[in-house]
């Protein structure tokens, strides 16, 4: 399994789909899987159940994806930070951190606040992203591999993954 980690807006889902296509393996978006399992959007789940319950569900759904087959899994931005998920992902696959500076993330996310439960309530989302990214980097930096999220070449990454897994 290949786990793509990084802050929201770092391109895990978009680039993950391209990477899965290049590797000719299935792609799974963890948030979409959670929505499918619960019947609620991520925002609705946060509103109705709260972040704590969401993180429990997220960890459970993540672990349910365990497979001996190669899969590309795009995780949520907070997935590595709770319930020892980062350790579990490192133990069960290849983790790839899509690293990006806070300013670039803000530029991507500033118009998507309605879809991002953690940003909706922020008066200063730019400062929140910088602070939040710094808090989460301790987990992200535990990834086995780091790529520059601003310039990911999915074909090159696919070739590097083939080399690592061979």
Residue in the block written with tokens 């992200």: 140
pLDDT in the model for residue 120? 61
Contact at 8 Å (CB) between 57 and 45? yes
pTM greater than 0.95 (yes/no): no
- What local confidence, expressed as pLDDT, does residue 24 receive? 96
Print the domain residue range for 148: 2-165
Angle 94-9-3 (CA atoms, 0-180°, nearest 5)?
A: 10
**Look-up of token digits 């759904």:** 61
- Which pLDDT does position 154 carry in this prediction? 92
Average pLDDT over every residue of 96-119: 79
Up-side HSE of residue 141: CA atoms within 13 Å toward CB?
6
What is the rounded average pLDDT of the residues 15-44?
A: 96
Give per-residue pLDDT as tens, 123-159: 787 898 999 999 999 999 999 999 999 998 999 999 9
- H or E stretch at 156: helix 154-165
Q: Give the total number of structural domains in the chain.
A: 1
| pLDDT at res. 146 | 96
pLDDT at 111 over 80: no
pLDDT higher for 113 or 138? 138
Whether the pLDDT of residue 39 is over 90: the answer is yes
Tokens of 117: 């439960």
Q: Can you give the CATH number for the domain in which 134 is found? A: 3.40.50.300
pLDDT tier at 116, thresholds 50, 70, 90: low
Does the pLDDT of residue 119 top 90, yes or no?
Answer: no
Mean pLDDT of the chain: 91
85-107 tens-digit pLDDT: 999 999 999 999 999 999 999 88
> Across-strand partners of 2?
72, 94
In this structure, are residues 1 and 65 in contact, taking their beta carbons and an 8 Å threshold? yes
């Amino acid at each position: 399994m290949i786990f793509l980690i990084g802050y929201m807006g770092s391109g895990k889902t978009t680039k993950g789909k391209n990477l899965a296509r290049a590797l000719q393996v299935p792609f799974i978006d963890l948030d979409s899987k959670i929505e499918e399992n619960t019947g609620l959007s991520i925002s609705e789940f946060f509103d109705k159940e709260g972040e704590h319950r969401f993180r429990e569900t997220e960890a459970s759904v993540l672990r349910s994806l365990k497979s001996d087959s190669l899969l590309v899994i795009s995780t949520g931005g907070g997935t590595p930070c709770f319930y020892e998920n980062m350790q579990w992902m490192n133990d069960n696959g290849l983790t790839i951190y899509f690293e990006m500076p806070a300013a670039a993330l803000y530029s991507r996310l500033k118009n998507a606040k309605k879809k991002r439960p953690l940003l909706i309530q922020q008066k200063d989302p730019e400062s929140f992203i910088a602070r939040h990214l710094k808090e989460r980097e301790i987990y992200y930096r535990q990834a086995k591999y780091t790529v520059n999220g601003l310039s990911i070449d999915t074909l090159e990454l696919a070739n590097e993954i083939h080399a690592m897994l061979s």
